[in-house]
Amino acid sequence: MKVSVELNLRNLLRWFLALVLVWAALSKIANLHEFYLNIAAYQLPLPDALLRLTAIVLPWLELLCGGLLCLGGVTRRAALFWTALLFAIFVLATGQAWVRGLDISCGCLKLDFLGDGALAKFLESVKFAFFRALFLLAASLYVFRSAPATAHPTTGPT
């Protein structure tokens, strides 16, 4: 019974992570230049070429991870590894922006449907993005640690 509950929780978190990643990826792929500007606004001490490369590659890494999280076997564990690493980087990036008091949009998810009100501003703030990334990091680490190392007949693609 306990195993079943844990399995359901793991699968629920995995699908949630996949949904968030695909949503985030499509938001960025729609306008890569805008995403580059969003990254630059974080004022990270990184060379501009690396910022440009990140803007080009990161959305596709998110999209691949989101898709592969739905699959079983080794690819899922590899996708979980990248997912945890990405969220760890997001925690650091948003955390430093929050500490430095940067008044910027996190540039994480497309929330245009919420309009331009206070809720949209709050959800786009780096403070909220920091705690969201922290939760998603914890979720991805939990799923990674509890996921089987190899594909199992009963826990394959779901």
Partner 1 sequence: MLFMNATGLDSKTSVARPAIGILLAAVVLGVAYNSFSPLGVRAPRPEETSTVSAPSPAATIPSPPVPVAPPPAPAVPAPIPTPAVAQPQFPELKWAEVKTLLAQNKIVLVDARLKATYDISHIPGAISLPATSPAVELQAFATKYPKDTRFVTYCSSESCDMSLTLAQSLYKICGYTNVSHMPGGFVEYQTAEAANAK
Binding site for partner 1 (CB under 8 A): 29-34, 36-38, 40-41, 43, 47-48, 51-52, 55-61, 63-65, 68, 74-75, 77-79, 81-82, 84-85, 112, 116, 120, 141, 144-145, 149-150
- Which amino acid would we find at residue 153? P
Nearer to partner 1, 58 or 97 (CB): 58
Closest distance of CB 65 from partner 1, Å: 7
Is 138:87 a contact under the CB 8 Å cutoff? Answer: no
Nearer to partner 1, 1 or 139 (CB): 139
Count of beta carbons in the 10 Å neighbourhood of residue 43: 12
User: What does the H/E/C string look like for the chain?
Assistant: CHHHHHHHHHHHHHHHHHHHHHHHHHHHHCCHHHHHHHHHHCCCCCCHHHHHHHHHHHHHHHHHHHHHCCCCCHHHHHHHHHHHHHHHHHHHHHHHHHHCCCCCECCCCCCHHHCCCHHHHHHHEHHHHHHHHHHHHHHHHHHHHHCCCCCCCCCCCC
Closest distance of CB 1 from partner 1, Å: 25
- Which amino acid would we find at residue 52? R
Nearer to partner 1, 1 or 82 (CB): 82
Closest distance of CB 50 from partner 1, Å: 10
Closest distance of CB 107 from partner 1, Å: 9
Closest distance of CB 77 from partner 1, Å: 5
Nearer to partner 1, 12 or 74 (CB): 74
Nearer to partner 1, 1 or 48 (CB): 48
